[in-house]
């Protein structure tokens, strides 16, 4: 075997690998011997098929299999021995002469590959330099609004016998399609003004029990027509499929949600936790909001550290090679200069940086770390009521690309656990609403898109050849 490694620059190289007959000959002989014991050909006893016949019938395929197995073994062994870090895997060089396998010849076979090389750089964390971040604070007005909303939803409604419709009331009505006789049987329904996105409040406010009016139900309720027909009108078929749902409404009852503080019994029934009064419930809501905001603040810290690390390590990568290599793996190609291409290169740099940190600090990703990422993905993306979780788990663990992305996520989490506490953060308290915008802007800056949840892009991330 001969290997000629030619470094073109810091990020690209070519390698020529020559597999000689001395390398593949014994392997081919062994393959022929093994195959002769399996094959049964007419006119020959089992295991007694002449070698010349086997070569004629199967020699080319067995030769190719033997040689290509050696190519993979020898090439990657050489790269490991020489400690040459590569992106993806070697690609057959464009313009390389095609290999014609001839089992009757003892010729050597030459293969030429392009390599994308990992850049060499020193790690720099700047742990001693504080990072400025914004952190959200609990909005007490929001806590108070939540308390009032819980009163309306989980409290006791009070019938209004001498008054008019107000905001958040539940209004009982009798519905008769427009044009129906006054003595025609009506449909009893309830319009919950808090849950009705249409113009019901504007239409019904100030009305009292016994008042009548006409309304188009789609505008009034603001719901999908099919839901109105099924749930409000309690009908199997649309009564006027080609026209509006014009109905005559008579108010039959007004029920007003509870406005007084929830009792300990009501709160216990609502939360499943024994509480004495609403002040204890507000403390519970505040603690829950604080925990959620703490998680958001941690996410902000992670993004700030990622931004710090990427700014400190502006190394180049073999983009042209990586672009070709990824498109070679994909059915749907990435367009040059597209956002997908930008995200591909960004993720490749970040992946390389993560692996370099893990290698330097001897950090390892355990099966438990990966399982945690899979579980988190399922919680965020799967409807438990409509999914066979056991079957889904089997499918996910069999999906190489999915598991690769989960391992990458797990590696990121392991590294953040390791380095986040080493940084000092200068925190500026802001309102939850202000934080939402700041978080959005930071996310856009780090990931080049504005959604609030970072998911792995569909592009291939950089992986070791091992």
User: Where do we find the tokens 């129906």?
Assistant: 180
Question: Using CA of residue 403, residue 404, residue 406, residue 411, what is the dihedral sign?
Answer: positive
Rg (CA), the chain: 35
User: What residues contact residue 424 under an 8 Å CB cut-off, 6+ apart?
Assistant: 127, 128, 130, 131
pTM of the model: 0.70
**Average confidence (pLDDT) per 10 residues, the chain, 466 residues:** 94 95 88 72 60 75 90 95 93 89 89 96 96 94 92 93 95 94 89 95 96 96 95 94 95 96 92 91 92 93 96 96 90 90 93 96 95 92 83 91 92 96 96 93 81 40 35
CA distances from 321 to 39, 115, 137, 407 (A): 43, 7, 47, 24
CA distances from 93 to 21, 321, 332, 362 (A): 23, 11, 22, 35
**Mapping DSSP to helix (H, G, I), strand (E, B) and coil, where does residue 404 land?**
helix
Two tokens at 286? Answer: 């505040």
126: left (phi over 0), alpha (psi -120 to 50) or beta: left
Question: Using CA of residue 237, residue 240, residue 246, residue 247, what is the dihedral sign?
Answer: negative
User: Where do we find the tokens 């989980």?
Assistant: 154
Q: For residue 144, what pLDDT is reported?
A: 92
Helix (H) or strand (E) holding 436: helix 432-447
DSSP E strands, 310-457: 425-431
Q: Phi then psi for 254, rounded to 5 degrees?
A: -130, 125
Q: For residue 464, what pLDDT is reported?
A: 35
Give the long-range contacts of residues 381-390, CB within 8 A, separation 24 or more. Answer: none
Burial class (CB in 10 A: 0-12, 13-18, 19+), 57: middle
User: By the 8 A CB rule, do 14 and 114 touch?
Assistant: yes
Structural domains for the chain: 2-116 (3.30.70.1050), 131-140+277-447 (1.10.3120), 157-256 (3.10.50)
């Amino acid at each position: 075997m001969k290997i000629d490694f030619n470094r073109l620059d810091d990020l690209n190289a070519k390698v020529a690998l020559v597999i000689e007959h001395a390398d593949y000959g014994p392997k081919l002989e062994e393959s022929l011997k093994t195959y002769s014991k399996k094959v049964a050909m007419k006119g020959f006893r089992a295991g007694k098929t002449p070698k010349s016949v086997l070569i004629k019938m199967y020699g080319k395929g067995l030769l190719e299999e033997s040689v290509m197995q050696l190519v993979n073994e020898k090439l990657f062994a050489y790269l490991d021995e020489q400690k040459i870090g590569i992106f993806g895997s070697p690609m057959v060089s464009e313009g390389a002469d095609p290999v014609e396998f001839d089992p009757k010849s003892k010729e050597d076979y030459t293969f030429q590959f392009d390599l994308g090389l990992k850049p060499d750089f020193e790690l720099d964390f700047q742990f001693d330099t504080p990072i400025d971040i914004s952190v959200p604070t609990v909005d007490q007005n929001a806590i108070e609004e939540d308390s009032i909303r819980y009163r309306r939803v989980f409290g006791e409604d009070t019938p209004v016998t001498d008054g008019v419709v107000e905001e958040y009331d539940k209004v009982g009505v009798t519905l008769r399609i427009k044009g129906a006789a006054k003595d025609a049987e009506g449909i009893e329904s309830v319009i919950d003004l808090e849950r009705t996105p249409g113009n019901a409040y504007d239409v019904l406010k100030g009305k009292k029990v016994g008042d009548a009016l006409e309304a188009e139900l789609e505008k009034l309720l603001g719901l999908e027509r099919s839901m109105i027909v099924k749930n409000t009108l309690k009908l199997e078929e649309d009564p006027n499929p080609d026209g509006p749902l014009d109905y005559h409404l008579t108010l039959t009852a007004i029920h007003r949600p509870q406005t007084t503080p929830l009792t300990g019994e009501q709160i216990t029934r609502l939360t499943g936790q024994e509480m004495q009064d609403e002040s204890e419930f507000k403390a519970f809501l505040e603690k829950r909001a604080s925990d959620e905001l703490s998680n958001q603040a941690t996410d902000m810290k992670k993004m700030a550290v990622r931004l710090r690390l990427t700014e400190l390590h502006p190394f180049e990568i073999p983009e042209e090679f990586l672009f070709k290599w990824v498109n070679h793996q994909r059915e749907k190609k990435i367009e040059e200069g597209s956002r997908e291409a930008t995200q591909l290169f960004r993720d490749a740099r970040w992946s390389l940086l993560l692996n370099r940190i893990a290698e330097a600090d001897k950090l390892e990703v355990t099966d438990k770390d990966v399982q945690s990422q899979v579980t988190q993905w399922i919680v965020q993306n799967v409807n438990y009521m409509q999914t066979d979780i056991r079957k889904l788990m089997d499918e996910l663990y069999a999906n190489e690309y999915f598991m690769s992305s989960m391992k990458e996520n797990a590696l990121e989490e392991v590294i953040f656990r390791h380095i986040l506490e080493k940084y000092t953060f200068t925190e500026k308290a802001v309102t939850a609403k202000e934080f939402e915008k700041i978080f959005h802007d930071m996310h856009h800056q780090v990931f080049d898109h504005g959604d609030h949840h970072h998911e792995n892009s569909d592009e291939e991330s950089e992986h070791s050849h091992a």
